[in-house]
Amino acid sequence: MPVCAVCGTESENGSKFCAECGASFSVDEGPSTSEAMVQMAGEFERAVSERPDDPTARYDLGLARMYDRKWGKAAEQFLKVTELEPDFADAHANLAVCYAKLGQPERALEHAESAIELDPSKKRYRKIKRQLTGRTH
């Protein structure tokens, strides 16, 4: 069974996308081949340029960059979201994933813990922290 690199959820064999977070199971680190994703990212970039202080627009752009495996660009957006709206738990969790992918485990763990503190009910946040610390339970 494939395991999602973004959220750690196991999915059925043959799945192209994670059922939990929507991330692609493609191992390709290159540019997105999805025309729809390219178009959506362009729309999100326009929204951010029109409304730079809108956390939702930045979050959407961060997700598009994350799903396209542009970890640094995604992290920039999620970091700005956490500055604009410090209680946005999903932004902290996604920032943790991006920092982990960028080889910054300490920063990743800090944001995973922030997400857990903000919303302890989300299993995904604890799963991210377990992956960062190498624990299985």
Higher pLDDT, 26 or 129: 129
Asked if residue 48 is part of any domain, the answer here is yes
Alpha-carbon distance of 130 to 137, in angstroms, equals 7
Q: What is the pLDDT of residue 16?
A: 67
Asked if residue 17 is part of any domain, the answer here is no
Asked if residue 114 is part of any domain, the answer here is yes
CATH for 108: 1.25.40.10
Asked if residue 20 is part of any domain, the answer here is no
Asked if residue 3 is part of any domain, the answer here is no
Q: What domain range includes position 83?
A: 35-133
Asked if residue 15 is part of any domain, the answer here is no
CA distances from 75 to 12, 19, 134, 135, 136 (A): 28, 22, 22, 24, 26
Average pLDDT over residues 21-39: 60
Average pLDDT of the chain is: 84
User: How confident is the model over 46-95, as pLDDT tens digits?
Assistant: 999 999 999 999 999 999 999 888 999 999 999 999 999 999 999 999 99
Asked if residue 4 is part of any domain, the answer here is no
Q: What is the pLDDT of residue 2?
A: 63
- Rounded to two decimals, the pTM is 0.75
Asked if residue 85 is part of any domain, the answer here is yes
Q: Helix, strand, or coil here: 120?
A: coil
Q: How many domains does the chain have?
A: 1
Q: What is the pLDDT of residue 118?
A: 98
